[in-house]
Amino acid sequence: MARANRGKWIIAAILGLSLFASSSALYIRYRVTRGALEFWGPQTADLISRAAVVETLAIAPAPAGTSDADADAKGDLTLGGRLLRITVARNVTGEPGLRKIRRSLCLSRNFDFSTAAAADTAWTYALRFSDGSRTVIVAFDTDCRTTTRVGSSRSARLVAAPPGLRRLLSRTVDAAKP
């Protein structure tokens, strides 16, 4: 009889340990993603991590005198009150390292949320995440040190740029050069 009770205690201890481990993992995941989730918003963070199509974009200031009515075929976007033209769009959905970049963009430790972008930030690159009817564009400065979401007034400094981000984005810009 004592042996049967000992088995029940072992099972209860294993279940208790499992519950503790899974609760700890959930708490840690919450802590490491909370800031990024607040910065991007839940829909954007979901799209960054799961979008079916990802494109790199080369962006540059639109020619002087360009208005929204003059948008070209690749599209224009507005960041910080400035009209920017998409000069090159390249599908990178299957590129090696993209999964790491996506994961890095959803981790709070990679950002300094207290530092806003300067008014004259040179937005050069962007990633467009699309999944059916939902699309979000995340822009980066020339050095991949500052990021923002198109349509948002918030920006953040990238403390640790995701591995391979600069290389992935610069290949798109290089493709735009004649």
Is 170 inside any structural domain? Answer: yes
Is 88 inside any structural domain? Answer: yes
Is 3 inside any structural domain? Answer: no
- Per the CB < 8 A criterion, the answer to whether 156 and 111 are in contact is yes
Interval 16-30: pLDDT, tens: 888 888 887 776 666
Is 127 inside any structural domain? Answer: yes
Return d(Cα 59, Cα 150) in angstroms, integer.
12
Is 123 inside any structural domain? Answer: yes
Strands 111-112 and 76-79: unpaired
Interval 81-91: pLDDT, tens: 788 888 888 89
- Per the CB < 8 A criterion, the answer to whether 84 and 59 are in contact is yes
The reported pTM is: 0.77
Is 52 inside any structural domain? Answer: yes
Among candidate residues 84, 108, 94, 97, the one with its CA nearest the CA of residue 160 = 108
Is 118 inside any structural domain? Answer: yes
Q: Specify the pLDDT at position 92.
A: 92
Q: pLDDT grade, residue 128 (50/70/90)?
A: very high
Domain encompassing residue 92: 36-176
What domain count does the chain have?
1
